[in-house]
Amino acid sequence: MDTGDNRTENRPPIESNDYLWDRSGEPDPEIQHLEALLERFRHDSPTPAFPEIVPERQWAFFPWRRRLFPALATAAVGIAAIVAVTLLVYRTKPTPSTLAGWNVSGVRGTLRIGQKTIGGKEGTSRLVIGQMLETDSQSRASLQADDTGKIEVDPGTRLRLLSMGSGLKRIALDRGTIHTYIWAPPGQFVVDTPSAVTVDLGCAYTLQVDDSGAGMVRTSLGWVGFKLNGHESFIPAGAACATRPKVGPGTPYFEDASAEFRSALARFDFEDTASRQRARDVVIVLSETRKRDALTLWHLLTRVDDQQRVLVYDRLSQLVPPPAAATKEEILRLDQPMLDLWWNELGFDDISVWRHWERSWAGTATPVREK
Amino acid sequence: MSLSETYRETLILRLVEGMTGPEIAARTGMTHGSVRVNLHRGMEQLRAKLNAGPSRVRPEQEKS
Protein backbone atom coordinates (compact mmCIF):
# COMPACT_ATOMS: atom_id res chain seq x y z
CA MET A 1 0.00 0.00 0.00
CA ASP A 2 1.13 3.46 -0.83
CA THR A 3 1.92 5.16 2.41
CA GLY A 4 1.31 8.66 1.13
CA ASP A 5 3.38 11.52 2.36
CA ASN A 6 6.00 10.40 4.89
CA ARG A 7 7.59 13.76 5.43
CA THR A 8 5.99 13.83 8.87
CA GLU A 9 8.40 11.23 10.20
CA ASN A 10 10.32 13.82 12.12
CA ARG A 11 7.31 15.61 13.49
CA PRO A 12 6.65 15.71 17.24
CA PRO A 13 4.43 13.01 18.77
CA ILE A 14 0.85 13.15 17.61
CA GLU A 15 -1.37 15.43 19.64
CA SER A 16 -4.16 13.77 21.51
CA ASN A 17 -6.90 16.38 20.84
CA ASP A 18 -7.52 15.26 17.30
CA TYR A 19 -10.92 13.73 16.85
CA LEU A 20 -10.19 12.54 13.33
CA TRP A 21 -7.12 10.75 14.61
CA ASP A 22 -8.38 8.95 17.72
CA ARG A 23 -11.74 10.56 18.64
CA SER A 24 -10.05 12.53 21.36
CA GLY A 25 -10.65 16.20 22.01
CA GLU A 26 -13.64 18.16 20.81
CA PRO A 27 -15.74 16.13 18.37
CA ASP A 28 -15.90 17.42 14.83
CA PRO A 29 -19.60 17.52 13.86
CA GLU A 30 -18.84 16.95 10.21
CA ILE A 31 -16.85 13.84 10.96
CA GLN A 32 -19.45 12.62 13.40
CA HIS A 33 -22.09 13.08 10.70
CA LEU A 34 -20.06 11.09 8.20
CA GLU A 35 -19.47 8.35 10.78
CA ALA A 36 -23.18 8.14 11.38
CA LEU A 37 -23.97 7.98 7.68
CA LEU A 38 -21.36 5.36 6.87
CA GLU A 39 -21.64 3.18 9.95
CA ARG A 40 -24.25 0.99 8.30
CA PHE A 41 -21.70 -0.09 5.73
CA ARG A 42 -19.36 -1.29 8.45
CA HIS A 43 -18.14 -4.86 8.16
CA ASP A 44 -19.97 -6.72 10.92
CA SER A 45 -18.11 -10.04 10.92
CA PRO A 46 -15.13 -10.56 13.21
CA THR A 47 -11.91 -9.20 11.91
CA PRO A 48 -9.68 -11.98 10.60
CA ALA A 49 -6.68 -12.66 12.80
CA PHE A 50 -3.99 -11.35 10.50
CA PRO A 51 -0.46 -11.66 11.72
CA GLU A 52 1.05 -8.48 12.99
CA ILE A 53 2.56 -6.44 10.22
CA VAL A 54 6.07 -5.29 10.74
CA PRO A 55 6.19 -1.52 10.70
CA GLU A 56 7.42 -0.13 7.41
CA ARG A 57 10.21 1.94 8.98
CA GLN A 58 11.93 0.15 11.78
CA TRP A 59 14.60 2.76 12.27
CA ALA A 60 12.25 4.60 14.58
CA PHE A 61 12.36 1.63 16.92
CA PHE A 62 15.99 0.75 16.33
CA PRO A 63 17.85 4.06 16.18
CA TRP A 64 21.19 2.31 15.85
CA ARG A 65 20.12 1.08 12.44
CA ARG A 66 19.67 4.65 11.32
CA ARG A 67 23.33 5.19 12.12
CA LEU A 68 24.35 1.84 10.69
CA PHE A 69 23.03 2.49 7.21
CA PRO A 70 25.28 5.46 6.42
CA ALA A 71 28.24 3.49 7.78
CA LEU A 72 27.43 0.51 5.61
CA ALA A 73 26.87 2.75 2.60
CA THR A 74 30.22 4.44 3.18
CA ALA A 75 31.94 1.09 3.55
CA ALA A 76 30.33 -0.18 0.34
CA VAL A 77 31.45 2.92 -1.56
CA GLY A 78 34.96 2.49 -0.12
CA ILE A 79 35.15 -1.16 -1.12
CA ALA A 80 33.89 -0.34 -4.60
CA ALA A 81 36.54 2.37 -4.92
CA ILE A 82 39.28 -0.02 -3.80
CA VAL A 83 38.12 -2.66 -6.29
CA ALA A 84 37.99 -0.08 -9.07
CA VAL A 85 41.49 1.22 -8.30
CA THR A 86 42.84 -2.33 -8.05
CA LEU A 87 41.35 -3.24 -11.40
CA LEU A 88 42.71 -0.05 -12.94
CA VAL A 89 46.20 -0.68 -11.58
CA TYR A 90 46.07 -4.31 -12.66
CA ARG A 91 44.95 -3.43 -16.15
CA THR A 92 47.58 -0.73 -16.59
CA LYS A 93 50.40 -2.71 -14.98
CA PRO A 94 52.92 -3.76 -17.62
CA THR A 95 52.59 -7.39 -18.46
CA PRO A 96 55.42 -9.52 -19.79
CA SER A 97 54.03 -9.06 -23.28
CA THR A 98 54.32 -5.27 -23.06
CA LEU A 99 57.68 -5.00 -21.27
CA ALA A 100 60.82 -4.48 -23.31
CA GLY A 101 62.38 -7.80 -24.10
CA TRP A 102 62.80 -10.61 -26.60
CA ASN A 103 60.13 -12.93 -27.93
CA VAL A 104 61.05 -16.55 -27.33
CA SER A 105 59.82 -18.98 -29.96
CA GLY A 106 60.85 -22.15 -31.75
CA VAL A 107 61.37 -23.87 -28.44
CA ARG A 108 62.53 -27.44 -28.76
CA GLY A 109 62.72 -29.47 -25.61
CA THR A 110 62.19 -27.73 -22.30
CA LEU A 111 63.86 -24.58 -21.08
CA ARG A 112 63.45 -22.15 -18.23
CA ILE A 113 62.69 -18.46 -18.30
CA GLY A 114 63.02 -17.12 -14.78
CA GLN A 115 61.24 -19.65 -12.60
CA LYS A 116 58.91 -20.78 -15.37
CA THR A 117 59.43 -23.92 -17.40
CA ILE A 118 58.64 -23.48 -21.09
CA GLY A 119 57.88 -26.24 -23.57
CA GLY A 120 57.55 -26.17 -27.33
CA LYS A 121 53.75 -26.43 -27.19
CA GLU A 122 53.37 -23.11 -25.39
CA GLY A 123 53.95 -20.92 -28.44
CA THR A 124 55.75 -17.62 -28.06
CA SER A 125 57.03 -16.65 -24.62
CA ARG A 126 58.79 -13.51 -23.49
CA LEU A 127 62.22 -12.85 -21.96
CA VAL A 128 62.15 -9.51 -20.18
CA ILE A 129 64.79 -7.44 -18.44
CA GLY A 130 66.20 -9.16 -15.38
CA GLN A 131 65.10 -12.62 -16.43
CA MET A 132 67.37 -15.58 -17.12
CA LEU A 133 66.86 -18.05 -19.94
CA GLU A 134 68.41 -21.47 -19.53
CA THR A 135 68.35 -24.40 -21.92
CA ASP A 136 69.16 -27.94 -20.85
CA SER A 137 71.31 -30.37 -22.74
CA GLN A 138 68.54 -31.07 -25.24
CA SER A 139 66.64 -27.84 -25.65
CA ARG A 140 67.08 -24.81 -27.84
CA ALA A 141 65.11 -21.69 -28.67
CA SER A 142 65.01 -18.61 -30.83
CA LEU A 143 64.90 -15.06 -29.46
CA GLN A 144 63.76 -12.16 -31.57
CA ALA A 145 63.34 -8.45 -31.02
CA ASP A 146 62.00 -6.47 -33.96
CA ASP A 147 64.33 -3.51 -33.52
CA THR A 148 67.43 -5.53 -32.64
CA GLY A 149 67.81 -8.91 -34.25
CA LYS A 150 67.58 -12.60 -33.68
CA ILE A 151 69.46 -14.96 -31.40
CA GLU A 152 69.50 -18.73 -31.72
CA VAL A 153 70.18 -20.34 -28.37
CA ASP A 154 71.90 -23.73 -28.33
CA PRO A 155 71.51 -26.47 -25.71
CA GLY A 156 73.35 -25.97 -22.43
CA THR A 157 73.13 -22.20 -22.53
CA ARG A 158 72.35 -19.74 -19.77
CA LEU A 159 71.88 -16.07 -20.58
CA ARG A 160 70.33 -13.06 -18.90
CA LEU A 161 68.69 -9.96 -20.35
CA LEU A 162 70.34 -6.92 -18.78
CA SER A 163 68.88 -4.02 -20.71
CA MET A 164 66.75 -3.28 -23.72
CA GLY A 165 67.02 0.49 -24.06
CA SER A 166 66.73 2.42 -27.31
CA GLY A 167 70.48 2.94 -27.46
CA LEU A 168 71.81 -0.21 -25.81
CA LYS A 169 70.54 -3.76 -25.82
CA ARG A 170 72.61 -5.91 -23.52
CA ILE A 171 72.60 -9.53 -22.50
CA ALA A 172 74.98 -11.60 -20.44
CA LEU A 173 76.05 -15.01 -21.68
CA ASP A 174 77.09 -17.00 -18.63
CA ARG A 175 77.72 -20.20 -20.54
CA GLY A 176 76.75 -22.00 -23.72
CA THR A 177 76.42 -20.91 -27.31
CA ILE A 178 74.40 -18.27 -29.11
CA HIS A 179 74.19 -17.42 -32.78
CA THR A 180 73.29 -13.79 -33.34
CA TYR A 181 71.93 -12.01 -36.40
CA ILE A 182 71.80 -8.35 -35.51
CA TRP A 183 70.19 -5.56 -37.48
CA ALA A 184 70.34 -2.90 -34.77
CA PRO A 185 72.75 -0.02 -35.53
CA PRO A 186 76.44 -0.86 -34.91
CA GLY A 187 77.49 -0.63 -31.30
CA GLN A 188 74.01 -1.04 -29.82
CA PHE A 189 73.95 -4.78 -29.21
CA VAL A 190 76.38 -5.91 -26.52
CA VAL A 191 76.96 -9.31 -24.95
CA ASP A 192 78.80 -9.61 -21.66
CA THR A 193 80.79 -12.79 -21.09
CA PRO A 194 82.88 -13.67 -18.02
CA SER A 195 86.04 -12.71 -19.90
CA ALA A 196 85.11 -10.06 -22.47
CA VAL A 197 82.41 -7.90 -23.93
CA THR A 198 81.32 -8.45 -27.51
CA VAL A 199 80.07 -5.44 -29.39
CA ASP A 200 78.10 -5.92 -32.56
CA LEU A 201 79.32 -3.77 -35.44
CA GLY A 202 76.73 -4.88 -37.94
CA CYS A 203 77.13 -8.59 -38.20
CA ALA A 204 76.25 -12.18 -37.56
CA TYR A 205 78.39 -14.16 -35.21
CA THR A 206 78.56 -17.16 -32.93
CA LEU A 207 79.64 -16.72 -29.34
CA GLN A 208 80.61 -19.59 -27.05
CA VAL A 209 81.40 -19.54 -23.35
CA ASP A 210 82.53 -22.63 -21.47
CA ASP A 211 82.14 -23.40 -17.79
CA SER A 212 85.49 -21.80 -16.97
CA GLY A 213 84.34 -18.50 -18.48
CA ALA A 214 86.62 -18.80 -21.50
CA GLY A 215 84.99 -17.64 -24.70
CA MET A 216 85.27 -17.80 -28.46
CA VAL A 217 83.63 -15.59 -31.07
CA ARG A 218 83.39 -16.51 -34.72
CA THR A 219 82.12 -13.85 -37.13
CA SER A 220 80.22 -14.89 -40.22
CA LEU A 221 79.08 -11.48 -41.46
CA GLY A 222 80.27 -7.93 -40.81
CA TRP A 223 82.56 -7.64 -37.83
CA VAL A 224 82.59 -7.76 -34.06
CA GLY A 225 84.45 -5.82 -31.41
CA PHE A 226 85.76 -7.86 -28.49
CA LYS A 227 86.82 -5.84 -25.50
CA LEU A 228 87.82 -6.04 -21.85
CA ASN A 229 89.51 -3.39 -19.73
CA GLY A 230 91.18 -1.70 -22.68
CA HIS A 231 92.11 -4.93 -24.47
CA GLU A 232 90.30 -4.92 -27.76
CA SER A 233 90.12 -7.07 -30.84
CA PHE A 234 88.28 -6.61 -34.11
CA ILE A 235 87.00 -9.78 -35.69
CA PRO A 236 85.89 -9.48 -39.33
CA ALA A 237 83.82 -12.07 -41.17
CA GLY A 238 85.58 -15.42 -41.36
CA ALA A 239 87.80 -14.70 -38.38
CA ALA A 240 87.71 -15.91 -34.79
CA CYS A 241 89.01 -14.75 -31.48
CA ALA A 242 89.37 -16.48 -28.12
CA THR A 243 89.12 -14.86 -24.72
CA ARG A 244 90.11 -15.98 -21.24
CA PRO A 245 89.09 -14.86 -17.77
CA LYS A 246 91.46 -12.32 -16.22
CA VAL A 247 93.26 -11.96 -19.58
CA GLY A 248 90.62 -10.74 -21.97
CA PRO A 249 90.45 -11.03 -25.73
CA GLY A 250 93.27 -12.77 -27.54
CA THR A 251 94.55 -11.94 -31.01
CA PRO A 252 92.00 -12.53 -33.79
CA TYR A 253 92.93 -14.89 -36.60
CA PHE A 254 91.48 -16.68 -39.56
CA GLU A 255 90.72 -20.27 -38.70
CA ASP A 256 92.15 -21.57 -41.97
CA ALA A 257 95.62 -20.51 -40.84
CA SER A 258 98.16 -23.25 -40.29
CA ALA A 259 98.10 -25.31 -37.13
CA GLU A 260 101.58 -24.00 -36.19
CA PHE A 261 100.33 -20.45 -36.59
CA ARG A 262 97.28 -21.04 -34.38
CA SER A 263 99.19 -22.96 -31.71
CA ALA A 264 101.92 -20.35 -31.43
CA LEU A 265 99.31 -17.58 -31.27
CA ALA A 266 97.36 -19.36 -28.50
CA ARG A 267 100.54 -19.77 -26.41
CA PHE A 268 101.41 -16.16 -26.97
CA ASP A 269 97.95 -14.95 -26.00
CA PHE A 270 97.13 -17.06 -22.99
CA GLU A 271 100.08 -19.02 -21.60
CA ASP A 272 102.33 -17.44 -19.04
CA THR A 273 105.50 -18.37 -20.87
CA ALA A 274 108.99 -16.94 -20.53
CA SER A 275 109.92 -14.02 -22.77
CA ARG A 276 112.20 -16.28 -24.82
CA GLN A 277 109.27 -18.61 -25.63
CA ARG A 278 107.08 -15.65 -26.44
CA ALA A 279 109.72 -14.40 -28.87
CA ARG A 280 109.87 -17.81 -30.50
CA ASP A 281 106.05 -17.89 -30.82
CA VAL A 282 106.06 -14.52 -32.52
CA VAL A 283 108.65 -15.74 -34.99
CA ILE A 284 106.55 -18.81 -35.74
CA VAL A 285 103.48 -16.67 -36.35
CA LEU A 286 105.40 -14.34 -38.65
CA SER A 287 106.83 -17.22 -40.59
CA GLU A 288 103.38 -18.82 -41.12
CA THR A 289 101.61 -15.63 -42.10
CA ARG A 290 99.65 -15.31 -45.33
CA LYS A 291 98.39 -12.01 -46.72
CA ARG A 292 94.99 -12.26 -45.06
CA ASP A 293 96.75 -12.90 -41.76
CA ALA A 294 97.61 -9.20 -41.80
CA LEU A 295 94.60 -9.11 -39.48
CA THR A 296 96.61 -10.92 -36.82
CA LEU A 297 99.81 -8.93 -37.36
CA TRP A 298 98.01 -5.59 -37.07
CA HIS A 299 96.73 -6.65 -33.62
CA LEU A 300 100.16 -7.99 -32.62
CA LEU A 301 101.70 -4.56 -33.14
CA THR A 302 100.25 -3.43 -29.82
CA ARG A 303 100.84 -6.72 -27.99
CA VAL A 304 104.52 -7.41 -28.47
CA ASP A 305 107.54 -5.75 -26.95
CA ASP A 306 109.52 -3.07 -28.77
CA GLN A 307 112.04 -5.47 -30.28
CA GLN A 308 109.39 -7.80 -31.64
CA ARG A 309 107.28 -4.86 -32.84
CA VAL A 310 109.93 -4.03 -35.43
CA LEU A 311 109.70 -7.59 -36.76
CA VAL A 312 105.94 -7.46 -36.89
CA TYR A 313 106.03 -4.05 -38.62
CA ASP A 314 108.37 -5.34 -41.29
CA ARG A 315 106.27 -8.45 -42.01
CA LEU A 316 102.97 -6.53 -42.05
CA SER A 317 104.54 -3.96 -44.39
CA GLN A 318 105.38 -6.78 -46.78
CA LEU A 319 101.78 -7.99 -46.77
CA VAL A 320 99.99 -4.62 -46.77
CA PRO A 321 102.08 -1.48 -47.20
CA PRO A 322 101.43 1.15 -44.52
CA PRO A 323 99.49 4.29 -45.53
CA ALA A 324 101.57 7.09 -47.00
CA ALA A 325 100.52 9.38 -44.18
CA ALA A 326 101.99 7.09 -41.52
CA THR A 327 105.72 6.90 -40.77
CA LYS A 328 107.44 3.86 -39.32
CA GLU A 329 108.26 5.80 -36.19
CA GLU A 330 104.65 6.73 -35.62
CA ILE A 331 103.59 3.14 -35.98
CA LEU A 332 106.32 1.83 -33.68
CA ARG A 333 105.32 4.23 -30.95
CA LEU A 334 101.72 3.05 -31.40
CA ASP A 335 100.22 6.29 -32.60
CA GLN A 336 96.54 5.31 -32.64
CA PRO A 337 95.39 7.45 -35.61
CA MET A 338 98.26 6.04 -37.69
CA LEU A 339 97.40 2.49 -36.63
CA ASP A 340 93.80 3.14 -37.57
CA LEU A 341 94.85 4.35 -41.01
CA TRP A 342 96.80 1.15 -41.55
CA TRP A 343 93.81 -0.92 -40.42
CA ASN A 344 91.73 0.72 -43.10
CA GLU A 345 94.31 -0.42 -45.66
CA LEU A 346 93.78 -4.07 -44.70
CA GLY A 347 90.49 -4.27 -46.57
CA PHE A 348 88.16 -4.80 -43.65
CA ASP A 349 85.53 -2.36 -42.46
CA ASP A 350 86.42 1.22 -41.65
CA ILE A 351 87.65 1.38 -38.07
CA SER A 352 85.92 4.72 -37.54
CA VAL A 353 82.77 2.75 -36.78
CA TRP A 354 84.49 1.28 -33.75
CA ARG A 355 86.19 4.51 -32.73
CA HIS A 356 82.89 6.34 -32.84
CA TRP A 357 81.37 3.75 -30.54
CA GLU A 358 84.40 3.86 -28.24
CA ARG A 359 84.32 7.61 -27.93
CA SER A 360 80.67 7.60 -27.05
CA TRP A 361 80.77 4.74 -24.60
CA ALA A 362 84.08 3.43 -23.37
CA GLY A 363 86.71 6.14 -23.75
CA THR A 364 89.93 5.88 -25.72
CA ALA A 365 91.62 2.64 -26.57
CA THR A 366 94.79 1.79 -24.74
CA PRO A 367 97.66 -0.37 -25.87
CA VAL A 368 97.04 -3.89 -24.72
CA ARG A 369 98.77 -6.39 -22.55
CA GLU A 370 102.26 -6.29 -21.27
CA LYS A 371 103.36 -9.58 -19.87
CA MET B 1 -15.89 11.99 -8.31
CA SER B 2 -13.44 9.92 -6.31
CA LEU B 3 -10.64 10.25 -3.80
CA SER B 4 -7.18 9.02 -4.49
CA GLU B 5 -6.79 5.41 -3.41
CA THR B 6 -4.24 6.27 -0.77
CA TYR B 7 -6.61 8.52 1.11
CA ARG B 8 -9.76 6.53 0.33
CA GLU B 9 -8.55 3.36 2.03
CA THR B 10 -7.48 5.19 5.16
CA LEU B 11 -10.74 7.15 5.37
CA ILE B 12 -12.85 4.01 4.87
CA LEU B 13 -11.08 2.36 7.80
CA ARG B 14 -11.65 5.47 9.89
CA LEU B 15 -15.19 6.55 8.94
CA VAL B 16 -16.80 3.27 7.88
CA GLU B 17 -15.03 0.68 10.00
CA GLY B 18 -14.72 3.05 12.96
CA MET B 19 -11.06 2.36 13.61
CA THR B 20 -8.85 4.96 15.21
CA GLY B 21 -5.62 6.18 13.67
CA PRO B 22 -3.41 3.97 15.85
CA GLU B 23 -5.56 0.94 14.96
CA ILE B 24 -5.25 1.74 11.25
CA ALA B 25 -1.49 2.02 11.59
CA ALA B 26 -1.32 -1.31 13.40
CA ARG B 27 -3.45 -3.01 10.74
CA THR B 28 -1.84 -1.51 7.66
CA GLY B 29 1.76 -1.30 8.79
CA MET B 30 1.91 2.40 8.05
CA THR B 31 3.47 4.73 10.53
CA HIS B 32 1.27 6.84 12.73
CA GLY B 33 2.44 9.92 10.86
CA SER B 34 1.50 8.52 7.49
CA VAL B 35 -1.95 7.49 8.71
CA ARG B 36 -2.55 10.92 10.22
CA VAL B 37 -1.48 12.69 7.05
CA ASN B 38 -3.67 10.43 4.93
CA LEU B 39 -6.65 11.03 7.20
CA HIS B 40 -6.39 14.83 7.15
CA ARG B 41 -5.54 15.22 3.48
CA GLY B 42 -8.17 12.67 2.54
CA MET B 43 -10.69 14.56 4.63
CA GLU B 44 -9.78 17.84 2.92
CA GLN B 45 -10.23 16.23 -0.48
CA LEU B 46 -13.54 14.72 0.60
CA ARG B 47 -14.81 18.09 1.86
CA ALA B 48 -13.76 19.79 -1.37
CA LYS B 49 -15.52 17.22 -3.49
CA LEU B 50 -18.66 17.26 -1.37
CA ASN B 51 -18.82 21.05 -1.41
CA ALA B 52 -18.33 21.13 -5.16
CA GLY B 53 -21.20 18.69 -5.79
CA PRO B 54 -24.97 19.37 -5.86
CA SER B 55 -25.65 17.59 -2.64
CA ARG B 56 -24.05 18.93 0.43
CA VAL B 57 -23.65 16.89 3.50
CA ARG B 58 -22.43 19.48 5.90
CA PRO B 59 -24.79 19.29 8.92
CA GLU B 60 -25.07 23.05 9.25
CA GLN B 61 -26.06 23.33 5.61
CA GLU B 62 -28.68 20.63 6.03
CA LYS B 63 -30.01 22.41 9.07
CA SER B 64 -30.17 25.67 7.14
Rounded CA-CA distance A262/A299 in Å is 14
The answer to whether residue B47 is domain-embedded is yes
Where does the pLDDT of residue B1 fall: very low under 50, low under 70, confident under 90, or very high at 90 and above? low
Chain A and chain B share a number of CB contacts under 8 A equal to 94
For chain B, the domain total comes to 1
**Structural domain span for residue B23:** 5-54
Rounded CA-CA distance A252/A242 in Å is 7
Rounded CA-CA distance A8/A6 in Å is 5
pLDDT tens column, A22-77: 888 888 888 888 888 888 888 776 666 666 666 555 555 566 666 677 778 888 88
The answer to whether residue A107 is domain-embedded is no
Least Cα separation, residue A70 to chain B (angstroms): 22
For chain A, the domain total comes to 1
The answer to whether residue B30 is domain-embedded is yes
The answer to whether residue A23 is domain-embedded is yes
For position A370, what pLDDT does the model report? Answer: 37
Mean per-residue pLDDT for A168-180?
94
The answer to whether residue B48 is domain-embedded is yes
pLDDT tens column, A115-124: 889 887 777 8
**Whole-prediction pTM:** 0.60
pLDDT tens column, A347-370: 887 777 667 665 444 433 333 343
In the predicted structure, residue A371 carries a pLDDT above the cut 50:
no
List b or e across A331-351, with b for residues whose CB sees 16 or more CB atoms inside 10 angstroms. beeeeeebbbbbbebbebbeb
**Structural domain span for residue A74:** 7-43+55-92
Cα Dmax for chain A: 142
**Least confident residue range of A43-47, A63-67, A233-237, A255-259:** A63-67
Phi first, then psi, for residue A45 (nearest 5°) are -90, 160
For position A289, what pLDDT does the model report? Answer: 95
Please list the residues that pair with A248 across neighbouring strands. A244
For position A352, what pLDDT does the model report? Answer: 75
What radius of gyration, in Å, describes the C-alpha atoms of chain B?
Answer: 13
Give me the amino acid identity at A88: L
Residues of B in contact with A1 (CB under 8 A): 6, 9, 28-30
Q: Does B30 touch chain A (CB under 8 A)?
A: yes
More confident residue, A229 or A287: A287
For position A187, what pLDDT does the model report? Answer: 81
Rounded CA-CA distance A226/A238 in Å is 15
> Domain holding B10: CATH number?
1.10.10.10
Where does the pLDDT of residue A151 fall: very low under 50, low under 70, confident under 90, or very high at 90 and above? very high
The answer to whether residue B59 is domain-embedded is no
Residue of B nearest to A43 (CA): B17
**Least confident residue range of A55-64, A156-165, B48-57:** A55-64
Q: Report ipTM (2 d.p.).
A: 0.81
The answer to whether residue A329 is domain-embedded is no
The answer to whether residue B38 is domain-embedded is yes
